[in-house]
Chains A and B, each alone.
Chain A
Amino acid sequence: MSEALLYFIQQLINGLTIGSAYALIAIGYTMVYGIIGMINFAHGEIYMIGAYTALIAITGLATLGVAWLPLILLVALICAVIVSSAMGWAVERVAYRPVRGRHRLIPLISAIGMSIFLQNYVHLAQGSRNIGFPLLIEGGFDFGSADTFRASLSYMQLTVFVTTFICMSALSLFISRSRIGRACRAVSQDLGMANLLGIDTNRIIAATFVIGAALAAVAGLLLGMYYGSIDPLFGFIAGLKAFTAAVLGGIGSIPGAMLGGLILGVSESMTSGYLSGEYKDVVSFGLLILILLFKPTGLLGKPEVEKI
Chain B
Amino acid sequence: MSSGGARPLAPWRWLGVPMLQVMGLSMLFALPIRFWGLGLPEPVFALPVAFAWAVIRPSMLAPLAVLTLGVFLDYLWGSPTGFWAVCLLLPYGLVLGGRSWLAGQSRVIMWLWYGAATGLALGAGYLFTMLDTQNAPNWISVGWQFLATIVLYPFANRLIERFEDADVRFR
| A and B are partners in one complex rather than unrelated chains | no
Q: Which residues of B are in contact with A by a Cβ distance under 8 Å?
A: none
